[in-house]
Amino acid sequence: MRVENEQRIDKLDNGECAAVDSAGGFHRDSVYDEGCSLKNTVKVGTRGSKLALAQTELVIRALRERFPQVDFQMVTMSTRGDRDTSRALLEFGGKAVFVEEFEEAILKGDIDIAVHSAKDMPMEIMEGLTISGTLPRACPQDVLIYKSGRSFDRNDSFVVGTSSLRRQYQIRDVYPNAECKNLRGNVGTRIQKLEDGEYDAIILAAAGLERLGIIDGSAECVEVHKDELTFRYLSTESMLPAACQGIIAIETRTSGEACDMVREINDTEAYTQLICERAVLNRLNAGCHEPIGVYSELHGDHMKLSLMKAGAAVSDKEKDKEIQIHRKTVEGNTADLEQLVEVLIK
């Protein structure tokens, strides 16, 4: 049975918002005493792509800084989504395609921790497991990549590579004549397909590109030119990100040493965003591969929560119908998350 562990947003004594799970553990600074005895070895599960390895190395680095006496070992695993790159992700049914094997490994004791891209996590998590923490969020935006010297006007016809329905509908809202084709594979493979001329442009997440060092992002970044390619950051107004895009989710059992250690490195703001954005998906009964964008911005206790839903039909017979993009934004206090979500989805 797969169930989502109950989580809520509570107020800490210092005024910060923090996530609290059903076990009652706060995701906040230090609960360990310096002399506390910990297990000698902790196994951290990861997919084998360069991006997955880079993200897992960030997690292990943070854990080693906090717990230098522990040997954190990286364990590489393969998932259904990695083994079958010929099908679009939607064809898998959107059910834990990059997650299930890791959850089973945690429950069996083969690994202690699993590192995921939070946007790929299903709403339902196996019983006995939880998202124990996150690292600070990277850039949540999407990036349109194309060969330098090329430009796109609104009415141009060109081929865009992306398997995401969310990206397909939003890019066609900006460029109505764009043709979207399935694009799978790791980041390097996708860029190579662009360079080989299989696509005129592709769309990738900025966070992955930056974590791999392909581009150096910044808060003011709009466009980057590198290796005869142009990387154009798409605004969240025109391309609302997937829920939790740019967040690294760290999964463990709901209690135990691994869970406690992850909570020690948890980033409160990113975790709060994860809880808020997943709450919207949960209320909509939506999966991580549906044409829905969700993004939260936090300013202290104040939150701005945005939603994009695409209303176009997806059957071959109806592909030429006009795309209906519905966008809505609400603002309020993080303590009123449930009410904000209800207003947002109406």
Which candidate, 188, 308, 168, 178, places its Cα nearest to that of 236?
308
The catalytically annotated residue of 112, 120, 200, 267 is 120
Query: Any idea where the domains of the chain sit in the sequence?
Result: 7-135+247-267, 142-234
| CB neighbour list of residue 29: distance below 8 Å, 6 or more residues apart | 264
Element (H, E) at 325: strand 325-333
| CB neighbour list of residue 299: distance below 8 Å, 6 or more residues apart | none
pLDDT for the residue 30: 46
pLDDT for the residue 216: 87
Residue with tokens 């706060």: 26
pLDDT for the residue 335: 93
pLDDT for the residue 3: 38
pLDDT for the residue 88: 53
pLDDT by residue, tens only, the chain of 346 residues: 343 443 444 433 333 334 444 333 333 344 455 555 667 999 999 999 999 999 999 999 999 999 999 999 999 998 776 555 555 555 545 546 679 899 999 999 999 999 999 998 888 899 999 999 999 999 999 999 999 999 899 999 999 999 999 999 999 999 999 999 999 889 999 999 999 999 999 999 999 999 999 998 765 678 899 999 999 999 999 999 999 999 999 999 999 999 999 999 999 999 999 999 999 999 998 866 789 999 999 999 999 999 999 875 544 555 555 678 999 999 999 999 999 999 999 8
Whether 120 is catalytic is yes
Same fold, 7-135+247-267 and 142-234: yes
pLDDT for the residue 78: 83
CA gap 229, 195 in Å, rounded = 9
Neighbours of 149 (CB within 10 A): 8
pLDDT for the residue 14: 31
Indicate the residue type of 131: I
Q: Report whether 274 contacts 131 (CB < 8 A).
A: yes
Cα 34–Cα 39–Cα 45 angle in degrees, nearest 5? 115
223-226 vs 229-234, strand pairing mode: antiparallel
Class of domain 142-234: alpha beta
pLDDT for the residue 97: 67
CA gap 110, 42 in Å, rounded = 10
The dotted CATH code for 7-135+247-267 is: 3.40.190.10
